[in-house]
């Protein structure tokens, strides 16, 4: 993929992330590339991150590793649609998209399945 194609793809995902951030329950929406870097999206304006920058970079790297490990079971179990973890302060969801991951953090009281459906619709995945 050329640099121009990558730039267009990341711009398109940045727009999708911005649309996700308009939803009141969404705190963070970002696209993580295969190297574990945030390439589109980010934290909702005015929202205080729960982690510092160093911890976020660790989270991105761990997420890419976890998603790639799960793909080993795609043939027998089917592809992962999304993964979610409910924590006391947030619900964290990941959506594999080719070799990248859409990472979304939402308020802790959301209905995970309903929110995942909404995210997939808005992001077009």
**Which ranges in the chain belong to alpha helices (H)?**
3-21, 53-70, 74-77, 112-123
Provide the residue ranges of all domains of the chain, joining segments of one domain with +: 3-123
Instruction: Read off the pTM.
Output: 0.86
The tens digit of pLDDT for each residue in 6-41 reads: 577 788 889 999 999 999 999 999 999 999 999 999
First to last CA, the chain: 20
Q: Which residues contact 101 (CB under 8 A, 6 or more apart)?
A: 31, 32, 63, 64, 67, 94, 95
CATH number for region 3-123 = 3.30.450.30
Rounded CA separation 79/22 (Å): 28
């Amino acid at each position: 993929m050329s640099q121009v194609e990558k730039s267009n793809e990341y711009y398109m995902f940045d727009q999708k992330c911005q649309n996700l951030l308009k939803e009141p329950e969404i705190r963070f929406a970002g696209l993580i590339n295969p190297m574990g870097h945030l390439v589109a999206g980010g934290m909702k304006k005015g929202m205080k991150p729960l982690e510092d920058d160093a911890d976020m970079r660790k989270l991105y790297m761990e997420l890419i590793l976890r998603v790639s490990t799960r793909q080993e079971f795609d043939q027998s179990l089917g592809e992962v649609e999304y993964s979610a973890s409910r924590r006391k302060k947030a619900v964290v969801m990941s959506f594999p998209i080719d070799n990248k991951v859409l990472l979304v953090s939402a308020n802790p009281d959301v209905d995970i399945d309903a929110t995942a459906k909404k995210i997939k619709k808005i992001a077009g995945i």
